[in-house]
Amino acid sequence: MAQDSGTRTLISHAQLRRGRGRAIYWTLLAVVVVGFSLVFLGPLYWMVTGALKSGQEIAQTPPSLFPQDPQFQNYVDAWHNLDLAKLLFNTFYYAAGAVAFQLVLDTAAAYALSKLRPIFGNAILAMMLATLMIPAMVLIVPQYVTVIDLPFLHVNLLDSPFAIWLPLVANAFNIFLLKRFFDSIPEDLMAAALMDGATPLRTLWSVILPMSRPILGVVSIFAVTAVWKDFLWPKLVMPSPETRTVSVGIYAFAGGTPMNVVIAASVIAAIPTVIIFLIFQRNIMSGLTTGSLKG
């Protein structure tokens, strides 16, 4: 019987049915799965268990695999001593603003490049994508100079949430993702909306956006995680203790705080992003793959 071309793999089914081939296949698969699991989950395990250890136990060499006497008080001390409630609120606030700005401005840019097709649109998109090749560290100095003296307005944005929001708006990768998704939307829908008298803005609101919920969810998650994990830029533009993000706040208190309490604070700070990923992981995959197919 001929083998179905839709189920071809690197190893044929005949080889997998043999005793030796099957053993080698499953052995390699187990090694790869276990190896990658250790690489990705090992640091998380060390962080969670390290937050439950005493100061002496976490500093001992070699480190213990399990906490000898779990210290759940470390989490309570981290919450109160590092004022995590304030730091988490600041980070949520900055992340929400980043999501709002990116959804509005990046969506408008992608819609214009995809459906309105302005003059030199391809050249503009190419220049946007070219910025992805520039290392982020190279842009730190010009961005900081811009923030401390905003051109034309001559406003200092230090300790202002706009210092975080505005640099995140011009996100070439998100614009590219949105454009690819909008390209997959049939032109017949655009023509039907035009015949009904809809303006381009009305078409965007009533036709494009309702169909774009998966990719909009992906962009939102990317915006949240970008703010949550960033350290250097918030440290530069948010020098005041009242405006710090959670990553900067934990670093600022790390000098005079026991290591186990700092690790407990890191665990608390990581929980929201892990929850977001677990809830929306299916939306992330569907949003990234749907735009790659022409409808």
What is the DSSP secondary-structure string of 28-79?
A: HHHHHHHHHHHHHHHHHHHHHHHTTS-HHHHHSSSPPSS-SS--THHHHHHH
Q: Residue 190 — very low, low, confident or very high, per pLDDT cuts 50/70/90?
A: confident
pLDDT over threshold 70, residue 5: no
* Structure token digits, residue 155: 């406003």
| pLDDT value of position 294 | 46
- Local confidence band at 10 (pLDDT 50, 70, 90 cut-offs): low
- Please count the helices (runs of H) and the strands (runs of E) in the chain: 17, 0
Note the pLDDT tens digit of each residue in 177-189. 899 999 888 888 8
- Amino acid in position 20: R
Checking if the pLDDT of 90 tops 90, the result is yes
In tens, the pLDDT along 141-180 reads 999 999 999 888 889 999 999 999 998 887 899 999 899 9
Give the pLDDT confidence score for residue 248 in this predicted structure. 94
Please report, to the nearest 10 degrees, the dihedral formed by the alpha carbons of residues 188, 193, 196, 200 taken in order.
-140
Q: How far apart are CA 105 and CA 170, in angstroms?
A: 8
Taken as a whole, the chain contains a residue count of: 295
- Give the chain's mean pLDDT: 85
For position 184, what pLDDT does the model report?
87
Whether residue 267 contacts residue 51, with contact meaning beta carbons closer than 8 Å, is answered with yes
- CA–CA dist 114, 5 (Å, integer): 35
Q: What distance in Å separates the CA atoms of residue 134 and residue 139, rounded to the nearest whole number? A: 8
pLDDT of the residue at 293:
46
